[in-house]
Chains A and B, each alone.
Chain A
Amino acid sequence: MTTKTLLFLLGMTSLFILLLVLGVFWAIRSGQFDDLEGPAQRILMDEDDPMLPGNQQKNSADRKPES
């Protein structure tokens, strides 16, 4: 009984390990570890900054033309 439970759990573990290894290998191969500093900095840069061109067009209706 306990051995059966254990076997089941170990089987699940192997499945997870397999997924884990595949995931990590995929991440390594796709270059996610190439730059360890950039992403940390990039998160500080606002994507919804009103200054950005894309957002600027959205807001241009209620914005006076410059100069």
Chain B
Amino acid sequence: MCCRGCQAVAAAIVENGLEAYYSNRTEMPHSGQEVLPQDIRKLALYDHPEIQRSFVIDAGEHAREAVLILEGITCAACVWLNERHLRQLGGVLEVDVNYASHRARVKWDQRQIQLSDILREIQLLGYNAHPYSARQADELRRKRKKTDLQRLAIAGIAAAQVMMLAVALYAGGWYGIEPATQRLLRWFSLILTIPVATYAAVPFYRSAISGLRSGHLNMDVPVALAILSAFGGSVWVTVLGGTQVYFDTIAMFTLFLLATRMLETGAQEKSIESAENLLKLQPAMAMRVRGEQQDYVPVLELVTGDIILAKPGETIAADGEIMEGQSGVNESLLTGESRPVAKTVGSKVIAGSVNQDGPLLVRVTGTGEQTVLAGIVRLVDKAQAEKPRIAQLADRVAAWFTLVILVFAVLVYAGWWYVDNGRAFEVVLSVLVVTCPCALSLAVPAAIAASGSHLIRHGILVMRGNALESLSHVTHVVFDKTGTLSVGEPAIVDIRPAAGASEEDCLRLAASLERNSEHPLAHAFLTRAGRMPLLEVTQPVNHPGQGIQANIDGVLYRLGSAEFAGVDRLPAGGQTGEAGMSAVWLSRDGQSLAEFVLSDPLRPDAAQAIEALVERGIGVSILSGDSIEAVGHAAGRLGIAEWRARQTPESKLAALREWQAAGRVVAMVGDGINDAPVLAGAQVSFAMGTGTDVASQTSDIVLLSSRLADVAVALDTGRSTHTVMRQNLAWAIVYNLIALPFAAMGFVSPWVAALGMSISSLIVVLNALRLR
């Protein structure tokens, strides 16, 4: 066990007989945490009716229901553990954990158990639970998803039935059929198709109308036109008699389109949900200060201008400006940078960041929807709506195509009217059906949906549709160093004990001191110390920004900067003052004991990932803000010849432009806000999804698992997606060019046309499915 927290977690798991978790888990979860007394007191606040109002629903006389976001779910075993554990608590009526969105719906009897008990139990398991108040947009999306499913169901059921009847009708057309029977079957098909044309296909009509209003023919105009004209024509034939009905075509066409669009939106929603879960990490309560009075109030009640107190270790509840106090604030949520940012009076803080050292009085400048975090989530929403360029091109082609078809149809009608007016309607319908730009409009979205779901299974999230297309052209990949090629968290790389001291003793002393510290560097010491037994410390005092001191066996030890430890820099120190490398000194009664050198190690899969890229003939380089030594060292170990160190965001962008001017198509892989300009400037940008990096949500592609090897996977998928898109488009165009003259000359009977169109779209979809 690494700490008491883990022990508590294991104890809770074993005590409750949930050992199966250990055999079922497929991924290591984040390490558990200690539940501190003040946390429990804070959790108790969730029982306050005032605070519960925003997220708890009355589900009966004593039953209450709430949705909780679970942090730290990594695999199905976690879901199982949480569900099992909560279900066996007395008073919990229902638990339902959603594997996809990491949200748990809990229903409990408030006479027997309180919400805080449930939250505490989850924390004891090593997960974090946050009550979730549904945003309006979220609610809307859920409703739309349900409506979409219903439309799909209607189209699917109708398509299956109408196709069966169509077989009878086609057979009848071939071998002869009684007119009464034919009429009956047609009427029945008509009734079945009414819900499809009037309910299932509504989204296409809406989109077509809004497209026409804004003055351009979008992809849905031909779709709506095809459905409506085929339906109108078929109704006409059914009522007044004629040779052919197309109800089967309508139902199948609608089903295909709805299904592909559903796949498309499904992938997008997943990314939006994960972004939104981040948003919910803002605490539900804040300590408001009014004169002498301090009390916890729901964040919802905070208004601009309120003063809130953020204690050390607490998450800041709202955007604001510091009035009093100074501290380091961890903004890794936004920047991915795990080192705290120093804040003092007048600095701005953002909701969701964690206050590390000292108490802060903050004047609220924005809450809820107005926070920076909420803005970023909205940005993700917007990015999802973007269409890739090639899809836009297909749209434009389809628009022109429709125009040409419409004109052509009128000409064909006029021509046939002149030659043989009895066949004119039939031929025009054939022309319209056979050339319906279905395959054309499916070509790109089907490929994107298929490759999107392929990538998401690898933990690669495509944020912008454009990215997939650009990926196939990439000739050069540029990496940032800190946090991208390296882990981004400091680790001890060297211990230099003074004469007479042993390395192990010094490490033991340092780790014992750091045990009481929240400082990010402390983690490095504890990790290095591992299972080493630690020493008892007394009177620990934390000096923010300088170091920590404490007594061990009655002797005063200090660990921190050279000045703080009171030592002269060791002569044998070497280059430790460089960025990325930091040194910490340990002293006993002002006498130097050891120097610890901390640095940021390379990711274990970095070398392999770079090799994979080089194998594919893709150039690799590093652009980093780090020191020449640090970057040179990393580049040397990874075998990268082209690297630039000491780069500011501007010079990074300049280097990028230089490479782009030389004709390279550059993909940038970065992690933090300092990479933002380059990420935006590159043709494709990848962001590491390490932990809670909202900034990454603004790039093209997010590597959720932070595996560098995924870059090569994404590039491969991008290439094959591009190939499939081109094949699909080529096929759709060739098919239409061949079918059109035949149909116009009257060689294609409408049912062959319908079959041809269906098969051509089927080929497109199947071809796209190869990507999965």
Contacts and interface: CB of A to CB of B under 8 A. Distances in A.
B46 to A, nearest CB: 25
Interface in A1-50: 2-3, 6-7, 10, 13, 17, 20-21, 24-25, 28-29, 33-38, 41-42, 44-46, 49
B180 interface: yes
Contacts of A2: 178, 181
A45 B24 contact: yes
Nearest to B85: A53
Contacts of B88: 53-54
B contacts with A: majority SS: helix
B150 A41 contact: no
A50 to B, nearest CB: 9
A40 B520 CA distance: 39
A28 B101 CA distance: 17
B79 A29 contact: no
B79 A38 contact: yes
A64 B79 CA distance: 30
Contacts of A49: 20
B157 A6 contact: no
Interface string B62-88: 000000000000001101100010001
A36 B100 contact: yes
Given A35-B98, A35-B99, A42 B16 contact: no
Query: Chain A contact residues: over half helix, strand or loop, or mixed?
Result: helix
B153 interface: yes
Given A38-B79, A41-B76, A49-B20, A10 B188 contact: yes
A53 B17 contact: yes
Given A33-B149, A44-B24, A45-B24, A38 B98 contact: yes
Contacts of A54: 88
B192 interface: yes
B723 interface: no
Nearest to B156: A24
A28 B153 contact: yes
B100 A38 contact: yes
Contact of B76 (A6, A7, A44): A44
A41 B88 CA distance: 20
Contacts of A45: 20, 24, 76-77, 80
Contacts of A46: 20
A6 B24 CA distance: 55
Contacts of A37: 99-100
Contact of A41 (B17, B79, B161, B192): B79
Contact of A29 (B18, B146, B192): B146
A51 B19 contact: yes
B181 A3 contact: yes
Nearest to A41: B76
B342 interface: no
Contacts of B146: 28-29, 33
A7 B180 CA distance: 12
A44 B161 CA distance: 36
B192 A34 contact: no
A34 B180 contact: no
B255 interface: no
B380 interface: no
Contacts of B333: none
B18 A10 contact: no
Contacts of B100: 35-38
Interface string A46-67: 1001011110100000000000
B17 A34 contact: no
A28 B150 contact: yes
Contacts of B98: 34-35, 38
A25 B150 contact: yes
A38 B192 contact: no
Q: Which of B17, B97, B101, B154 has the most CB of A within 10 A?
A: B17
Point out which of A13, A29, A33, A34 has the most chain B C-beta atoms below 10 A from its C-beta. Answer: A34
B162 to A, nearest CB: 11
A53 B76 contact: no
Contacts of B79: 38, 41-42
A22 to B, nearest CB: 11
Given A21-B153, A38-B97, A51 B20 contact: yes
Nearest to A39: B99
A6 B172 CA distance: 14
A25 B184 CA distance: 28
Contacts of A35: 98-101
A25 B153 CA distance: 8
| Listed residue (A21, A28, A51, A56) with the most chain B CB atoms within 10 angstroms of its CB | A51
30 contacts: A2-B178, A3-B180, A3-B184, A7-B184, A10-B188, A17-B157, A17-B192, A21-B157, A24-B150, A24-B153, A25-B153, A28-B146, A28-B149, A28-B153, A29-B146, A33-B146, A34-B142, A37-B99, A37-B100, A38-B79, A38-B97, A38-B99, A42-B80, A45-B20, A45-B24, A45-B76, A45-B80, A52-B84, A53-B17, A54-B88
Given A38-B76, A38-B97, 10 more contacts: A17-B157, A17-B192, A21-B153, A24-B153, A38-B99, A45-B24, A46-B20, A51-B20, A52-B84, A53-B88
Query: Nearest 7 A-B pairs (CB), nearest first?
Result: A41-B76, A38-B99, A24-B153, A35-B98, A37-B99, A28-B149, A45-B80
